[in-house]
Structures are given as C-alpha cells and as structure tokens.
Amino acid sequence: VVQSLQVHSGRMVPFSVEFNPPRDAAGEARLWRAVREFERMHPAFVSMTYGAGGSTKDRTVRVTGELAQETTLLPVAHLTAVGHSVAELRSLVGAYADSGIRNILVLRGDPPGDPLGEWHKHPEGVEYAEELVRIVRDLGDFHVGVASFPQGHHRSPDLETDTAFLAAKLRAGAEYSITQMFFEVDHYLRLRDRVVAMDPVEGAKPIIPELMPITSLRTVTRAEELCGRALPDSVLERLREAAGDGPEEDRAAVREVGIEIATEMAQRLIDEGAPCLHFITLNFAKATSEVLTNLGYGVTAAPVSA
C-alpha cells in the first residue's frame, strides 16, 4: 500500500476505496459493477472488509482473491480476530497469500451482534490487534495496516491512551493506518499531530483518512453505526434542511448536500497534506466518483494535477 501511494502520488493525492463482501449472487454482480467502474479511475488500492466472526469467510476470501487475479487493482484484505483461534487466523492469511494477496488490514473486530457489547477474546485467539500485527508479520512478506480513530476508539479511556495503542500497533510492524470515518477534519488533523508528538518515527507513517459520502438519511444511520457516534450537528442540520419537512425526504437534495460535504472534506484533507483519500463505497461507485470528479480527478485517465 505504501509503495502504491508513492507510485500514485505523482500529480494528485491518491484515493482508495473500501468494498464489503457480497451476501449473495446479486450483491456479487453489484460489487463487480463497482469494481469495474473504479478500475477505470486508478485507485491506489481497494480494501475488502471482513464480516464479524468470519460469517462470510469463504465468499470474502474468494472474491478478494478474484480482485487480485482478475483486475488491475491492488486488494487489501481486512482481517479481524473475532471468533478465530490463532491457528485459524494463520490459515486465513495463508488462503489470502495463495490467491496473491500480500496486503492485510489487521483489526481486532467488535463483538458479533452488538459492537458495543462486552469483548471476549477467542480462548486460543488474540486480545488486541497489536498481537495480530506481529503474527501476520511473522508469517512472511506481508504488508500490514491497522485502524486509527480520530475521536479515539470507543473503548479507550482517553485520546492519549488511544494514541499510545496506535503507536504500539505501528511499532509492531504496521506500515500505515486507515482511520475510522469522521465528519470533522480537525479530528483527523489532531490525531495526526498526537501521533507525531508521541512518536515521531511512527508518526511519519501514513494515516489515511476514511470518508463516506452521505446519499440519504438512511446512510446517516449507517454512518453513525460505522463510526459509533452521532454525526456533528452542523452536518446533520445541512442534511435535514435538504431533506425538507415534507412526509417524504427530498432524496435528490440530501444526496447533493451529502456529496458537497464529502467534497469539502476531501478538499480540505488534500490541502492539509493527507496521503490518500479512502472512500467507503457500500459497493456503489457513483457517489464516490462524483466526489472525485468534483475534485478534478479524471475518470478514465490517471489524475491530472495536485
């Protein structure tokens, strides 16, 4: 990933996208439509999330392998510790390696069912992502990324401790982090400052901001679930105002404002020197490609200017 960021950083800030494992054949067809759309836009990498507890394990491993073998994209496989012994985790990494995947985003994962519920490690598993970073690195030539949290992880006692845990994951061998989605760029900038102040060496590693274009009030709920917090009032007000006060939300207006918000955030992140823009796509290409077009990225050619 870090190498790909360097290759892509020639003229414009690179971007990358996140996919989710499809649940069925129709979902898989939709994913492939998005994959082919993004392929024309040259993302630095694409990541594939991992279902809680490995519920869609076989499909996830197969589809991520197909991304490696049948596209020009660089896939990053998310790997979570939930419900897996260390032996199972090793064998999963082996399955990814067999299909040509060398980039793994190492995560602990959340308790299945209720992300805020009590965390129990698998009796033969790992307690924290940091341990899994070491395990994956020990397995061979893998490039590892980890999660970072601009507003702190919901289980961390405070931001300083949260930053110390991130620095430990980076020291354990992670080469970069991807943040939890956020809606206030200042949170991202403060995280970056905290890591640099705490550990200048680890702080030099890329912190890739994650964005999600809001396309409806329903996506607001999804975004709040994914980041485990309410969206800021300033953002909610703009979206609600666009929705109008009629019985039906004005979806076109909400979508327009959602894309506008994501574009403004992305532009500020570019201006502030973010190393890459990582978009949650929910396996649709349209909203992300609109944001990229607003920012001046070409659709069929490599990006044109910084």
- Footprint of ligand FAD (CB under 6 A): 49-50, 52, 78, 80, 107-110, 128-130, 147, 153, 155-156, 162, 165, 169, 178, 180, 210
CA distance 146 to 44: 17
Give Cα separations from 46 to 16, 18, 59, 90, 183 (angstroms): 6, 6, 17, 22, 21
What are the backbone dihedrals phi and psi of residue 48, each rounded to the nearest 5 degrees, phi first? Answer: -120, 120
CB of 106 to ligand FAD, least distance (A): 7
Between residues 18 and 290, which has the closer beta carbon with respect to ligand FAD?
Answer: 18
Between residues 78 and 255, which has the closer beta carbon with respect to ligand FAD?
Answer: 78
Specify whether the CB–CB gap between 140 and 97 falls below 8 A: yes
Alpha carbon 207 to chain centroid, angstroms? 11
Label each residue of 107-171 as H, E or C: ECCCCCCCCCCCCCCCCCCCCCHHHHHHHHHHCCCCEEEEEECCCCCCCCCCHHHHHHHHHHHHH
CB of 117 to ligand FAD, least distance (A): 11
Buried b (16+ CB within 10 A) or exposed e, 268-277: ebbeeebbbb
Tokens 């299909």 belong to residue: 99
256 catalytic residue (yes or no): no
DSSP-derived secondary structure letter, 208: E
**Reading across the β-sheet that carries 143-148, which strands appear in turn?**
207-208, 176-179, 143-148, 103-107, 75-80, 46-48, 15-19, 277-280, 210-211
What are the backbone dihedrals phi and psi of residue 77, each rounded to the nearest 5 degrees, phi first? Answer: -95, 125
CB of 152 to ligand FAD, least distance (A): 8
Specify whether the CB–CB gap between 52 and 109 falls below 8 A: yes
CB of 270 to ligand FAD, least distance (A): 19
CB of 173 to ligand FAD, least distance (A): 13
Q: Single out the catalytic residue among 18, 130, 175, 290.
A: 18
Between residues 243 and 276, which has the closer beta carbon with respect to ligand FAD?
Answer: 276
Give Cα separations from 250 to 92, 105, 118, 245, 287 (angstroms): 44, 37, 39, 9, 17
Between residues 60 and 215, which has the closer beta carbon with respect to ligand FAD?
Answer: 60
**Closest to 144 in 3D by CA, of 106, 88, 171, 94:** 106
Between residues 28 and 250, which has the closer beta carbon with respect to ligand FAD?
Answer: 28
CB of 206 to ligand FAD, least distance (A): 13
Between residues 142 and 165, which has the closer beta carbon with respect to ligand FAD?
Answer: 165
Catalytic sites, residue numbers: 18
